[in-house]
C-alpha cells in the first residue's frame, strides 16, 4: 500500500462514526497553499484597485460580495472540498487586501501609483494609518475569538463540523487576513525594511513558530499566530513581485504575477483534490 493511502486509527474511527470533515488537515502543503493564496490575494487586490483604477472603495465592495458567494458555496458543501475551501481563502485574501488599504490609506500622492491624481469612484480611504488600522483589526479579532470561546466550539480547525463553528472560523480568517495585510504594508512601506527585509523578518518568525511546535506551547495558539503571519509574508512577497524596481520590487506587474500565482494555486488545489479522493476511496475499502 502506498504511503498516501495509509490511514491513521483516527481517520478509520471517524469514517466508521460517520464524522464528515469540512476543513483540511494542517500539513506542510496546507501552509504552502496558504502563502500562495495570500500572495495572490495581494497582487490580485492591487490589480483591481490600482492597476485597473477601480479604487479601494468599489473593489472592496465587489470582492466582499465575491467572498459572500464563495463562502455560501463552502458552507453548503457536505464535506471538505479543496476547490471550495481554497477559493474562500483566496477571496478573503483579496478582500482583506483592499479592506486594509481602504482603512489605512487616503488620497495622498504617496498612496497613488503612476502619477495618478485619484483612484476610482468614492472615498479614497479612511487614512487611519497602519498602526491605528492594525489596532482596530486586532481588537476585532480578539472580539471574534472571545465570542468563539464563549460558544464552546473547538479552535482545532480539523474538528470543526458545525455551521456555527465554520461561521466563526471564516469570520476570524477574514479579519486575520485584513490584519496581515496591514502588517505587511507597514513592514514594506514604513518600517524601513523594504519588501525583501519585511518578507525575511516574517519568514524568520514563522521558523521560530515551527520550532516552538515541538515545545510545550499549545499548537492551536501557534496555528493562529502562524495564520496571521503568513498574510504579511504574502503581502510583502506580492509587493516585491509587482512594485517598480526603483522601490525595490521586481516590477513584474500585477496582471502577470497574478496569472502565474493563480496557475500555481490551481495546480496545488487540483493535487489536494486528487489526494482527498484517494483518501476517501481508501476509507471506503476499510
Q: Percent of the chain, pLDDT > 90?
A: 37
Residue 9 binned pLDDT confidence (cut-offs 50, 70, 90): very low
Instruction: Give the mean model confidence (pLDDT) for residues 70-79.
Output: 92
Across the chain, what does the average pLDDT equal?
A: 83
Asked if 65 and 7 touch (Cβ cutoff 8 Å), the reply is: no
Q: Which residue has the higher pLDDT, 221 or 283?
A: 221
Residues 6+ apart with CB under 8 A from 22: 74, 77, 79, 80, 160, 161, 166
Could you tell me the three cell numbers for 221?
495558539
- For residues 76 and 249, the model is more confident at 76
Region of 121 please: left (phi>0), alpha (psi -120 to 50) or beta.
beta
Is the confidence at residue 33, as pLDDT, over 60? yes
pLDDT, residue 26, reads 82
pLDDT at residue 12 tops 80? no
State the pLDDT at residue 122. Answer: 67
The pTM is what?
Answer: 0.84
CA 110 – CA 113 distance, rounded (Å): 8
Task: Check pLDDT > 50 for residue 172.
Answer: yes
- pLDDT score for 146: 95
For 113-148, write each residue's pLDDT tens digit.
555 555 666 677 888 888 889 899 999 999 999 999
Distances in Å between the Cα of 4 and the Cα atoms of 98, 268, 274, 281, 282 are: 39, 16, 11, 11, 10
In angstroms, the CA 247 to CA 269 distance is 33
48 against 193, higher pLDDT: 48
pLDDT of residue 10: 43
In the three-class reduction of DSSP (H, G, I as helix; E, B as strand; rest coil), residue 8 is classed as: coil
* Mean pLDDT within 62-88: 94
Stretch 160-179: mean pLDDT: 91
Cβ-proximal residues to 86 (8 Å cutoff; 6+ apart), any chain: 33, 37, 265, 268, 269, 272
194: left (phi over 0), alpha (psi -120 to 50) or beta: left
Q: Which residue is listed with cell 462514526?
A: 17
Identify whether the C-beta of residue 25 lies closer than 8 Å to the C-beta of residue 158: yes
Are the C-beta atoms of residues 243 and 195 closer than 8 Å to each other?
A: yes
User: Which pLDDT score, from 0 to 100, does residue 16 have?
Assistant: 38
Mean pLDDT value of segment 159-181: 91
pLDDT for position 93: 94
pLDDT digits (tens, 9 = 90+) for 202-240: 889 988 888 887 766 667 888 888 888 888 888 888 888
Cβ neighbours for 132, distance < 8 A, ≥ 6 positions apart: 104
Amino acid at each position: 500500500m502506498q504511503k498516501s493511502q495509509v490511514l491513521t486509527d483516527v481517520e478509520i474511527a471517524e469514517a466508521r462514526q460517520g464524522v464528515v470533515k469540512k476543513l483540511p488537515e494542517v500539513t506542510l502543503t496546507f501552509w504552502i497553499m496558504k502563502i500562495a493564496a495570500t500572495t495572490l490575494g495581494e497582487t490580485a487586490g492591487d490589480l483591481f484597485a490600482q492597476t485597473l483604477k477601480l479604487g479601494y472603495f468599489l473593489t472592496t465592495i465587489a470582492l466582499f460580495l465575491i467572498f459572500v458567494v464563495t463562502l455560501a458555496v463552502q458552507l453548503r458543501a457536505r464535506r471538505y472540498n479543496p476547490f471550495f475551501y481554497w477559493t474562500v481563502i483566496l477571496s478573503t485574501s483579496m478582500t482583506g487586501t483592499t479592506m486594509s488599504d481602504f482603512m489605512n490609506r487616503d488620497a495622498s500622492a504617496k498612496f497613488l501609483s503612476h502619477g495618478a491624481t485619484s483612484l476610482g469612484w468614492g472615498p479614497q480611504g479612511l487614512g487611519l494609518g497602519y498602526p491605528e488600522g492594525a489596532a482596530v483589526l486586532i481588537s476585532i479579532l480578539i472580539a471574534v475569538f472571545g465570542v468563539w470561546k464563549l460558544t464552546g466550539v473547538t479552535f482545532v480547525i480539523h474538528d470543526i463540523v458545525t455551521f456555527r463553528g465554520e461561521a466563526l472560523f471564516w469570520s476570524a480568517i477574514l479579519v486575520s487576513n485584513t490584519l496581515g495585510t496591514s502588517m505587511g504594508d507597514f513592514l514594506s512601506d514604513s518600517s524601513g525594511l523594504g519588501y525583501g527585509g519585511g518578507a525575511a523578518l516574517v519568514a524568520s518568525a514563522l521558523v521560530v513558530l515551527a520550532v516552538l511546535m515541538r515545545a510545550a506551547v499549545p499548537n492551536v495558539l501557534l496555528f493562529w499566530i502562524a495564520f496571521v503571519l503568513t498574510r504579511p509574508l504574502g503581502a510583502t512577497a506580492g509587493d516585491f513581485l509587482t512594485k517598480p524596481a526603483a522601490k525595490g520590487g521586481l516590477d513584474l506587474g500585477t496582471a502577470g504575477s497574478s496569472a502565474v500565482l493563480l496557475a500555481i494555486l490551481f495546480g496545488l488545489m487540483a493535487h489536494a483534490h486528487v489526494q482527498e479522493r484517494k483518501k476517501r476511496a481508501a476509507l471506503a475499502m476499510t
